[in-house]
Structure formats: structure tokens, C-alpha cells
Structure 1
């Protein structure tokens, strides 16, 4: 049976591939058809159709052209494909988790923007950075807390997380408005109490008790401050004032000496 040859234009039309792509595949040795002995023009056959189908299928599975080239040169494609498919699946699983995390972050930010109308860019960027580093935060907490408590911190409902975000934004805006006000002013003391209540609500009494019993709690706090998981939305002056206001409140309440 005689072999049917296709020009590059005919082959492109037959397979739904662009001429530019076919030329590139030929240049890198991925799909190299026979050449006409006199004109040097590419001459594709039905065997090339099968090779192209393999290339398209492997690209769909996420393989790079270099990986596809290696696979096509394997004498036992089934074994190599099985091994690399397992690796590809793991990579896609990681990508899926990252995409899901990004979508959740977008939903929470959009919720804030709808509810609060106006939110400082510094506050939004700080929150986004915190959402991006949740996995690092979990790994760090594993050094100090039982897994059950860590799970309780991060496995909250979306509604609870959005409510927490909104409260954090509200408190941050209020703190910026009051920054510089005497720390013994009733409004400032009320704000500090709201900060404490919000922290207790989010962390929970069990975790607070656990933290209170930790011998390394001071070390834990110092290390947390250097990790930069949630860049401060405050200026240095605002941070200093906030620290003084919280210290005054805690002394007044007998929480510290």
C-alpha cells in the first residue's frame, strides 16, 4: 500500500494545528517529518498524525515539550508515562490547592470591599499577605501547640473568617483614627478591650489557656513578630502608640504588672 504524503499546509488543516507550531516542533526535533529529496519541503504521513496526537495528549496532561520529547523516545512509554503521570498528578494537586486558596482569599477581600466600602490599601495588602502564608503559620505553630488546637484555629467556617476579617479592619481603622490620643482616654481603653475580645473570640479560651501555660510563650511572641506573616498596616508611630495603649490597658486590668 502506497504511503500518502501531506504538505505542511495539508497536515496542519488535517490535524487542526498551526503551520507555525509544526515548524517549531520540527526545529526542536519533536515531530520531524521526511523531507523531499529535491525541494526539502516537509512531507507528513499518517504515522506523524499518531505522533502529533501523543504530543497533544501529553501537553494536555501538563508535560513540557522537553518531557514529551523524552517520553516519545522511550521504548517503553507505558512505564515512563505511569511514573511521570504520578508526578504530574501531585503537581496538579498542589496547583489546585493554591488556586483554591487564592479564590478563598479573593472572596474574603471582595466581601470586605463590599461591606466596608473604603479600606486602606495597607490593610488589604496586610490581609492578603497573611492569607498567602497560612501554611507557613501552621507549620510554625506545630512547634508549640497540639494539632487539635491548630486545626481549631484554621478550620473555621468561611462566614466566621469573613466576620473576623471585617472586625479586624474595623479595629484597625479605629486605631488609626485614635492614634496619638492619650492612652488613658476612655475611647482608647474601649478600643483595647475590643482588641482583646476579638483575639479571644478568634483564638478561643482553650488556646489562650494553653498559651498561658507555655514556658516559651515570650520566645513564641518574639519569633512571631519577626516572621512578617502579616505586615503591619500601621506606621511606626501608630505601632508605638498602639503598644503603649495595650500595655496601659493590660496593667489597668491587672493582666500584667
Structure 2
């Protein structure tokens, strides 16, 4: 074309540059707008022109971008590196960034698989419960799968009364007291003993804190360990703890003259 013959020797148009480097014209235009890679010249007709040197720089940009560097980092930092040690330091830093991203993605993948398992075990679609499961997975609560067994009232109560920190503390307390119950049972210490009473008192205080005085929540809580489909190992451990905590709580509450289920019986 007559128009192309007017181009200076050894220069490429934006279209030719894009074709040679396997990028789009829009990409080159964007890099130009961002001040990352500007054409070395302009033709008489106003066409942007690139040189082999520009092509080498673009190759560097694309290579660094492939390694996960942001365009801002390439523009403001990487192109100014002068020594091999500088480049190595930048690569080391980027490797750390990528490792953190991999860890995050790995956790996300595990959460997706865990949630998928829960979704398939639930009897209906419940996005509120899905959200609760995701939150508990983020909290690294190993008992996240119990959520599907709670009714809406219990879950609404948990959402309204606990944040991440208080929720984790409650879970830690529950786990510790159950472990203690199993220990006392293994040691042959009677539930009615002073140690059993002390455990029951702490467990009852935990329940009171959890329910905030709403005893209608007790029934659902007492069913933990008896739900169908529970993990066999977890269920066996919870059953063992309940076998000790039940009599210990009965003795403790009888001593106090408290019967939390009296109204239900009436």
C-alpha cells in the first residue's frame, strides 16, 4: 500500500507489533496509556510506530506478567533493576507472594469441597446455612459440619450473639469440657464427686452463656451426638462425654433445685 511505503525503515505499526508478539492491539494501546510501553515514533500520518527495541521490552513485560508481577510493579520497580542481585531479590519477593496466593487458593478449594459435601447431605437448599458453613470454615472450626443439624432458631441465635472471637472461644470451651469429661470417666471418678460437680458447674455456665437465658434452645443442644449421619469417631467421643456429663449435670442441677426441662414436661 502507498500509505505503508511512507513508514520509516525498521519500524512496525501497532498491528504488526501485536501480530508478532501474539497480543492484541488493545493491549498495546493500554500499555501506552499506562506509560508502560510507548511507541518509539509516529509516522507522518499519525500512526504509532514500534522498533525491535520496543519488541524486546514488550517481551520482558509479558514474561514478568506471566510470573505474576503486576503492571504497576513492572512499570515502577522492575524495569529499574540494575544488578542480578536486584533481580533475584525481586523474584524472591514475588515467589513469596505467589506462595501466599497458592495457600489461599488451596484453602478455598478445600472449603469448596467441604461445602459441596455438606450441600449434598442437606435435605434442601439453604443459602443461610451455606453462608454459616463458609464462615466456620474460615474460622477453622472443625465442627463446621454440625451446622446442618441445627434449626433456624438456634442458628439465628448464634448469628446474633456471637462474632468470630466469641464463637471460637465458645467452641474451645465446649471441646475442653468434653475432653475433661472423658478424662474423668477414664479415671473412674464418679459424676457426683467434687470434680464431677466442678465440671458440671462450668458446663452449665457455658450453656447459660450460649443460650443467654433462652432455655428453649436447650432441646436442640442436647440432641448433639444423636443426629443421624454423624461422623462415627466424633459421635463415639461425644456419646462418651455425654455419658459422664449427663449424670454430673443431673446431680449438680438437682442440688441447686433447677430443672431446665420442667416446663417442657408440663
Q: TM-score range by the shorter chain?
A: 0.5 to 0.7
The reply to whether residue 7 of structure 1 matches residue 5 of structure 2 is: no
TM-score, normalised via structure 1 length:
0.57
- Of residues 241, 244, 250, the one that matches 2:216 is 241
Cα distance in 1, alignment partners of residues 144 and 72 from structure 2 = 45
1:151-170 CA-partner distances (Å, limit 9, x unpaired): xxxxxxxxxx6xx5555523
Aligned with 2:179 (options 191, 205, 222): 205
| Match runs of 1:57-206 below 5 Å | 57-76=63-82, 78-118=84-124, 120-134=126-140, 165-170=144-149, 172-173=150-151, 205=179
Bigger Rg, which one: 2
Match of 2:23 in 1: 17
* Deviation of 1:252 (Å): 1.6
Matches within 5 A, 1:217-236: none
Q: How big is each residue's C-alpha offset from its partner over 1:70-117, in whole Å with a ceiling of 9 and x where there is no partner? A: 245415153333222222222221221121111111212211221232
Question: What is aligned with 2:57?
Answer: 51
> Over residues 114-153 of structure 1, what are the superposed CA-to-partner deviations in whole Å (9 max), with x where a residue is unaligned?
123226433332221011122xx7xxxxxxxxxxxxxxxx
Give a deviation string over 1:213-244, Cα, whole Å, max 9, x none: 99xx89xx79x97xxxxxxxx9x89x652258
Match of 2:252 in 1: 254
Residue 18 of structure 1 deviates from its aligned partner by 1.0
**Structure 2, unpaired ranges of 5+:** 1-7, 155-173, 185-195, 223-245, 257-266
Cα drift, residue 56 of structure 1: 0.5
Q: Structure 1, unaligned stretches of length 5 or more? A: 138-160, 177-198, 226-233
Q: Which has the higher contact order (CA 8 A, sep 6+)?
A: 1
Q: 2:36 — aligned with what?
A: 30
- SS of the residue 1:254 aligns to: helix
Tell whether the 8 Å contact from 2:15 to 2:25 is kept in structure 1 after alignment. Answer: yes
Distance 1:7 1:167, change over 3 A: closer
TM-score (norm 2): 0.55
Q: Distance in 1 between matches of 2:22 and 2:183?
A: 66
CA distance in 1, matches of 2:128, 2:25: 49
Closer, same or farther: CA 38–173 of 1 in aligned 2, 3 Å: same
Provide the alpha-carbon RMSD of the alignment. 4.3
Inter-CA distance 112–254: structure 2 relative to 1 (3 Å threshold): same
What's the CA shift for 1:11? 1.0
